[in-house]
Amino acid sequence: MAREEGPLLNRLLNANSILEQTAALRTLKHEIIGHDQRKERWVNSGIVSILSRILECSSRDEYDSSKEVMSDGQRDGESSRGQNNNCRSTRSMTEEQELCLQAVIIIGSLAQGGPAFLSPIMSSEAIPSMLAIISSPNCPQSLTVAILKTLSNIADRYPLQNINWPQDNRLAEILFTPDTISCFARIIAQSSSFSATQTCATLAANIIARLCTEETHKAALAEFGILDALALKIASFVVAQGFVLPGAENHLGEDGALPTLPQPAPPAAKLGPILRATSVIVENSKWRAEHFLSSPGIVTVFPGRLPEFSPADIKKNPWGMPYLSGSAVPRQNHTNPMDSLLPVVPLAQSSASTNFPPLVPIGSFHKRSLSFLEAPSYDEDESALVPWLFHMVRTENGMSRVMAARLVTGFFRLGLARKHRIPMFNYLVTPLLLRMLDKDYDFRDDSDPDYDGMIPTALALKEEVPSIIAILVMDTQELQKHAVEANAIKILSQLLKETYNPRPDNGKPMWYAESKDKDTVSAVPATLKLGPVGYSPMTCHIMRYREGILRALAALAPFRDEYRKAICENGVVPYIIDSLKPRPPLDAQDTRGTKNTAADGNSIPTLLAACGAARALTRSVSVLRTSLIDAGVATPLFELIKHPDIEVQIAATSVICNIALDFSPMKEAIISAGILPILCDHAHSNNTKLRLESLWALKHIAYNSTNDIKNKIVVGLGASWLAELMSIDPTSRRNLAADFKPGTLMGMGTSNSAGEKVDLLNPMEDVTRGEEARDSPLASDSTSFDALLTDPNRRKKLAMSGEIDQTRQARQDDIAVQEQALDLVRNIMCGNGAAEVVDFLLDEIGQDEFLNILAEKMRPRPNPTRRDTAANPPPPPMPAEILVAVTYVLVNLTAGPPKHRDLLFTHRELLKNLMWLFEHPNRAVRVNCVWVVINLTFEDDQSGRQASYERAVKLKSLGVIDRLRSVEEDSDLDVRERTKTALHQIRQYMNA
């Protein structure tokens, strides 16, 4: 311990009163601010443990006093926690609270020293104690602000410890518990005009946006009230701007709306952080987005369209009460008042359009019919929040503009914005996003100009733009076309090159601890030493920026070959290959300064984005044969497939799937590089995605390969394992509870006899909570957050929707895995000399077992009957993808020598089960059935005529002629033509 720390530390440890302790902490605070060397010495002196004990004692005192306050409040009829929050700023702090405030400020100052100082803080009980204090209803406003600022500082610097993915989620696990989430929700929902109150809401939203990356955390935030709080906050901005829909006040308290309009947002409130937190939670989840749009706050200011009646249909009875006539027909109001705020954009023209103007009256344009190839479908349900977000994109600046674009893009990608909005994205959003990427673009955001010691706000906002573009144009060719025409490929390509330019740090350098003996340091308690130095904020910014650019390029390239060639012509293929190089471990590199060159490597999220860009380019045969080979794309991929992170393995394998195609010149390189054993090993992974991609790659490698390669695949996978994988019924998905990660916060249980979802441990929890909210006296602010919790059905629906979504996705993954396994067998059975491999496969699996598997897949599933109940449901029909794959296996098997054709007749049910598939709705299944008949009755030469005749007789006895006649007039041309061939072959034997 240094000499200068001794007296002050003794004062702190030997203080006779709280006032002396507080004075010592004030002195310490002024001593360490801005001096990272002093901070390190104080950490080594044990200051973190001392501060943690102070906060822990304060948290216990706050908890005990809060129980007293609540009991007094209940006697006075004030049970709402929101009332106490509004009074915090007017109440002076006690001595204990002042002591706690100084401790919190010092911890926040330590956190600003960089990632190295987060390790001792995380090793203590400081953060849980702060959360306990802030959750207390009698916590003063100034202390609440200090705690949230400290947590925000920690959250901003926490990702700097390791820029690889997945992030260390310890901090998120501490913060995102039901109690803390409910506390944050109440902080965000407060409508007080005090600037400190709005600062708290902004800080809470920032913490959520920074740390919420896991799906389980997003689900918990939605379930325990954060989305409802964010919706209420956004509604307050709508009220303040005067954009509440006309007539909304007539439906207050109805259909899930609040009893009154929300209070208008005060001038100190910031919209950008609220929109950002909302976007993070709802992205990639339609059920969470729908939960947000149906929140009482949004429904109150933007009620849905209600049916209107003609005045002639409204009658009055003798007592003057209105009623509807018997012929009254409701008419929908097809116009949205929010659309009147938006400009008219050109309509999307179809390919049959001419140079002449449309033959419609000029006056009809005021309706703003923004159709996309056709008139808009007003039957689609779209919230008025969507056009309001478009208006925010046009009128706001800085973070509010960027996050409004991000949120409306997320809604569009989830199908919650109408298709006819595509021209509006083309002409309003895409050009603006591309303009934000200009070096001289002024975001005009005065909030936190220095980003609190991190990167400037302008860079942080620009970092978000490429990712928004990627989400926007994904899977929509019309949006891709307009983005390319706006020079998106050229702009993004140049930006990708610039991310590799060496960049000196102009700001404050990171603090690096002195090197010490590792054995000595390891013996020191975690609270007495600094942690990993981590990376500079600029390095992490460039990694995220590069990741977004790569994702945007990948999103532009999947459909059009000219777009892929344009990417190559802009010279970015070598930079994409450089982006496939991983960054070495943190302890094996010098992280001083900004490390962004090709030699420094890339973070795991950047590797995933680079794999996506490479995969998009491999869709082009010409690009694959030229640019990618010249750049050496195979070498880094062969390393990434062995990367310790499973997500990187999945991404690299997905690229190898494309370069393993039969026309690819790199197929031999994959085999010679020893990738086959790795793919076979990955196919056995417990991760469904990795298993799927590995089988897909093996399927491509097996096609037209030599028999020794096919045998290696069968042996590497294991014939018994392959048979087991094919025999599983993908429609009988196991209970979802087995798929949830430990620590999930979903509180739902199983279904009752009525099919309703119930929580077996707390069956009345939600209902009881709702009744208490209805019976409790609300504060003077009628839009108190408690009013949002009056409908327990919304929370149950949210949990059920998430569970259904998880189950559906898991079932689709299981189907896809089995489909690829069957396709792999199909490719093993085709090609020159395939008969030997088929014999080897059948010997390894067993002929009877193999045929049993195929017969079971084609077995007819019974239709539901009245006897079927929820407890004993009928088996669902076999997916068409599986039936297509199974019938292809049969086609290839019957295309082999006569002994393989005769093999099908040895099974009692196989060909019987095939007969019903002639009427299957999928045309590929029907045409494969006909091909099986053609192959079974095909005459190789004169010596095989008798065998073909016998097979034709057996098929006739199974009723195949009637089945073929049923598809003679099939709607598909291929089925009709193949049926003619099959009937001709059978009839020639019958006539003979």
Of 540, 450, 441, the residue nearest 499 (C-alpha): 540
Strand bridging mode 314-316 / 322-324: antiparallel
pLDDT at 675: 93
Whether the predicted pLDDT of 72 surpasses 70: no
Mean pLDDT of 630-643: 91
Rg (CA), the chain: 33
Mean pLDDT of 833-858: 92
Are 273 and 317 spatial neighbours (Cβ–Cβ below 8 Å)? no
pLDDT at 905: 93
Break the chain into its structural domains and give their ranges. 169-304, 337-350+368-486, 831-863+874-992
Model confidence pLDDT, tens digit, residues 427-453 = 999 999 999 999 989 887 655 444 566
User: For 131-135, 314-318, 373-377, 398-402, which range has the lowest pLDDT when averaged over its residues?
Assistant: 373-377
Mean pLDDT of 649-662: 92
pLDDT at 5: 65
Distance (Å, rounded) from C-alpha 819 to C-alpha 824? 9
Distance (Å, rounded) from C-alpha 387 to C-alpha 849? 59
Q: CA 275, 154, 537 angle in degrees (round to 5)?
A: 80
Torsion angle of C-alpha atoms 710, 716, 717, 718, degrees rounded to 10:
100
pLDDT at 765: 35
Neighbours of 94 (CB within 10 A): 15
CATH fold group of domain 831-863+874-992: Leucine-rich Repeat Variant (1.25.10)
User: For 37-46, 788-797, 845-854, 938-947, which range has the lowest pLDDT when averaged over its residues?
Assistant: 788-797
Mean pLDDT of 635-642: 94
Whether the predicted pLDDT of 304 surpasses 60: yes
DSSP category for residue 425: I
Q: Per DSSP, what are the bridge partners of residue 582?
A: 602
pLDDT band at 514 (very low <50, low <70, confident <90, very high): low
Mean pLDDT of 88-92: 48
Distance (Å, rounded) from C-alpha 434 to C-alpha 469? 8
pLDDT at 165: 62
pLDDT at 976: 94
> Three-class SS of residue 951?
helix
Q: Which two tokens stand for residue 911?
A: 């060909």
Mean pLDDT of 311-332: 56
Q: Which two tokens stand for residue 419?
A: 């298709």
pLDDT at 786: 61
Mean pLDDT of 782-811: 68
Cis before 874? omega within 30: no
Whether the predicted pLDDT of 413 surpasses 90: yes
pLDDT at 238: 95
Torsion angle of C-alpha atoms 951, 952, 954, 960, degrees rounded to 10:
130
DSSP category for residue 263: P
**Integer CA distances (angstroms), 582 to 589, 611, 641, 724, in order:** 12, 12, 12, 36
DSSP category for residue 602: B
The residue that leads in pLDDT, 406 or 868, is 406
Of 960, 874, 863, the residue nearest 916 (C-alpha): 960
Mean pLDDT of 850-877: 75
The residue that leads in pLDDT, 593 or 125, is 125
Of 46, 161, 116, 119, the residue nearest 513 (C-alpha): 116
User: For 56-65, 584-593, 786-795, which range has the lowest pLDDT when averaged over its residues?
Assistant: 786-795
Distance (Å, rounded) from C-alpha 799 to C-alpha 793? 10
HEC readout, 321-357: CEEECCCCCCECCCCCHHHHHCCCCCCECCCCCCCCC
**Integer CA distances (angstroms), 620 to 129, 561, 625, 633, 661, in order:** 57, 6, 9, 14, 12
DSSP category for residue 586: G
Mean pLDDT of 218-237: 93
Q: Which two tokens stand for residue 820?
A: 């690829």
pLDDT band at 939 (very low <50, low <70, confident <90, very high): confident
Distance (Å, rounded) from C-alpha 37 to C-alpha 31? 11
Model confidence pLDDT, tens digit, residues 539-588 = 999 999 999 999 999 999 999 999 999 999 999 999 999 999 998 877 66
Are 722 and 714 spatial neighbours (Cβ–Cβ below 8 Å)? yes
pLDDT band at 111 (very low <50, low <70, confident <90, very high): very high
pLDDT band at 753 (very low <50, low <70, confident <90, very high): very low
pLDDT at 371: 33
Q: Per DSSP, what are the bridge partners of residue 308?
A: 331
Neighbours of 738 (CB within 10 A): 8
Which residues, 6 or more positions from 634, have their beta carbon under 8 angstroms from its beta carbon? 659, 666, 669, 670, 673
pLDDT at 754: 32
pLDDT at 522: 61
Neighbours of 71 (CB within 10 A): 10
pLDDT at 308: 53
User: For 91-100, 163-172, 573-582, 805-814, which range has the lowest pLDDT when averaged over its residues?
Assistant: 163-172
User: Distance between alpha carbon 102 and the CA centroid of its chain, in Å?
Assistant: 40
pLDDT at 719: 92
Which residues, 6 or more positions from 84, have their beta carbon under 8 angstroms from its beta carbon? 69, 73, 78, 137, 138
Are 287 and 801 spatial neighbours (Cβ–Cβ below 8 Å)? yes
pLDDT at 248: 83
Number of residues assigned to the chain = 992
Distance (Å, rounded) from C-alpha 193 to C-alpha 268? 8
What percent of the chain is modeled with pLDDT above 90? 55
Q: Which two tokens stand for residue 408?
A: 């409306």
For residue 249, which amino acid is it? E
pLDDT at 793: 72
Model confidence pLDDT, tens digit, residues 197-220 = 999 999 999 999 999 999 999 999
Model confidence pLDDT, tens digit, residues 337-348 = 888 888 888 876
